[in-house]
């Protein structure tokens, strides 16, 4: 089985291409994700992306976290996905459309010469109704709500970009016990489908710094949907303008919450390597 490794700002993914059809023996994708994404015994990655045909769009993306769970969407992953299917010749038009569990998304490829140098994604409208995020708090939107975690109280804003996010504004990261608080919030009873957790420092009305604990993956170098949710939360809290550069450990994303209520994300997608998966990796 051939595999491709790609990353978006260090958020890395193992790709399996089943666009031309899945094998006769249908793969157990969750188990495959757990094996391949293991950084010692597998290829290593934050998630597994499966390239599939679509009856509704140009292609369909399935993504599975390193723990085998399947999120609705991944902003960094879909940029890599768009570049891959374009480079493979599966789709030649620009913009193109990709089917995900969060719906069909439109992506504009930024092409310099004959090479894709970036991707602008129409991430759709943010979901702010508590029951749709979902978060077990009354009132819409959930802005500045109280959250008690291991005796500490936080204020958070709940946003869904097709997947749930809990955005918390902090002054610095020095006093944040990230490795303890991150997973505790991810699995907090207020979030029935668990949640991604973003800790945000506001640098200026046009800049944010973000640290993320991803649902099902833990700490990652970047999270595209998290960056989008954080800008929406920052605007709702009156902290930034609607077009913001988000600094992540792996690099920067440009996020714009347009006047049309849609969120646009622009960032890179890069290859790491191509290889062949040996039978030993599956045993």
Domain boundaries, the chain: 2-123+268-282, 130-261
Assigned CATH for 2-123+268-282: 3.10.310.10
What's the whole-model pTM score?
0.92
Intrachain domains 2-123+268-282 and 130-261 with the same fold: yes
For the domain bounded by 130-261, which CATH number is listed? 3.10.310.10
Active-site option among 37, 80, 166, 223? 223
Give the residue from 158, 162, 42, 49 showing the smallest Cα distance to 105. 162
Distance of CA 148 to the CA centre of its chain: 26
Strand 207-214 and strand 103-112: pairing? unpaired
Catalytic (active site) residue 228: no
- The whole-number pLDDT of residue 24 equals 67
Binding site per annotation, positions = 11, 65, 75-76, 163, 196, 214-215, 224-225
Residue-level pLDDT at 21:
84
- Per the annotation, the verdict on 166 as an active-site residue is no
Of 37, 74, 80, 228, which one is the catalytic site residue?
74
Residues in the chain: 283
- Is 76 exposed, middle or buried, given 0-12, 13-18 or 19+ CB atoms closer than 10 A? buried
Binding residues for substrate: 11, 65, 75-76, 163, 196, 214-215, 224-225
Residue 104 CB burial class (10 angstroms; 0-12, 13-18, ≥19): middle
pLDDT in tens, the chain (283 residues): 899 999 999 999 999 999 998 776 778 999 999 999 999 999 999 999 999 999 999 999 999 999 999 999 999 999 999 999 999 999 999 999 999 999 999 999 999 988 999 999 999 999 999 999 999 999 999 999 999 998 899 999 999 999 999 999 999 999 999 999 999 999 999 999 999 999 999 999 999 999 999 999 999 999 999 999 999 999 999 999 999 999 999 999 999 999 999 999 999 999 999 999 887 766 6
């Amino acid at each position: 089985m051939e595999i491709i490794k790609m990353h978006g700002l260090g958020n890395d993914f193992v790709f399996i291409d089943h666009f031309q059809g899945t094998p006769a023996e249908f793969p157990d994708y969750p188990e495959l994700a757990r094996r391949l994404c293991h950084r010692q015994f597998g290829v290593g990655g934050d998630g597994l992306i499966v390239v599939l045909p679509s009856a509704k769009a140009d292609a369909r993306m399935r993504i599975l976290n390193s723990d085998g769970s399947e999120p609705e969407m991944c902003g960094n992953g879909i940029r890599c996905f768009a570049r891959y299917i374009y480079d493979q010749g599966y789709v030649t038009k620009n913009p193109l459309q990709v089917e995900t569990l969060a719906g069909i998304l439109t992506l504009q490829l930024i092409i310099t010469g004959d090479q894709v140098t970036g991707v602008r994604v129409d991430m759709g409208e943010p979901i702010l109704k508590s029951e749709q995020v979902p978060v077990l708090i009354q009132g819409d939107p959930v802005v500045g709500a109280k959250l008690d975690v291991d005796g500490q109280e936080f204020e958070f804003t709940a946003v869904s970009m097709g997947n749930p996010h809990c955005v918390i504004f902090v002054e610095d990261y020095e006093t944040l016990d990230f490795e303890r608080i991150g997973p505790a919030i991810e699995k907090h009873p207020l979030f029935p489908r668990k949640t991604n957790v973003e800790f945000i420092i506001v640098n200026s009305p046009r800049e944010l710094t973000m640290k993320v604990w991803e649902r099902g993956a833990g700490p990652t170098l970047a999270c595209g949907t998290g960056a989008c949710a954080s800008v929406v939360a920052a605007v709702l809290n009156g902290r930034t303008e609607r077009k913001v550069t988000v600094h992540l450990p792996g690099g920067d994303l440009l996020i714009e919450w347009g006047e049309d209520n849609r969120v646009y994300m622009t960032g890179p997608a890069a290859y790491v390597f191509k290889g062949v998966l040996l039978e030993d990796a599956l045993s």
